[in-house]
Amino acid sequence: MTRKITPAAPPSNDAAKAFDDLRSEISLQRSAIEGLTSAKEKLPDYLPTLRDMESRLGRMEERLDGIHQQPAMQFTPLKFAAEMFEASKTCRAEDRKAIGDAREELARSLGRIEGMIKKGRSTEEQDWWVTWAATGGVLLGASLALIGVAAWS
């Protein structure tokens, strides 16, 4: 299974044949270059399309930069949580103040109501005392009148 390498034919020393080979290779290269040049000339001109795409991409980049500059885009979840915490503290403080004010107003209202109740009680007590004093006065006057009648008789 070994392959025997046969020596290649010895190069010819014929200069004319070498020049003919060189001439054919150069003509082959020339025709290849001419083919590439003609193929290049047949290609459509993409320059206007590329310029349009470039301008669109430029506008898109400007819009994206504008979006990235918006304050909402600068918010991270951590910043958002901190803002929410501060806002809740502010709201709770306002609620605490409102509840305190309502509590004070309720206490004042209850104080006024208690004052009215006490005033009503004192009026009732005063009426009770006046009734008993009048009754006592009538009874004392009647007993004095009886004693006076008995003493004069």
Place of tokens 């509840």: 99
Q: What is the pLDDT of residues 42-80, one digit of tens each?
A: 777 888 999 999 999 999 999 999 888 888 787 788 888
Rounded (5°) CA angle 64-66-70: 115
Q: What is the pLDDT of residues 84-113, one digit of tens each?
A: 889 888 888 888 999 999 999 998 888 888
Percentage, residues of the chain above pLDDT 70: 87
Q: How far is CA 43 from CA 1, 46, 48, 53, 99, in A?
A: 53, 9, 14, 19, 81
* Domain edges within the chain: 28-74, 75-152
pLDDT at 13: 63
**pTM for the predicted model, two decimal places:** 0.32
Count Cβ atoms below 10 Å from residue 131 Cβ, excluding itself.
10
- The confidence band for 8, taking pLDDT boundaries of 50, 70 and 90, is low
CB within 8 Å of 47: residues ≥ 6 apart = none
Model confidence at 7: pLDDT above 60: no
pLDDT at 130: 86
Secondary structure element (H or E) that encloses residue 43, with its range: none
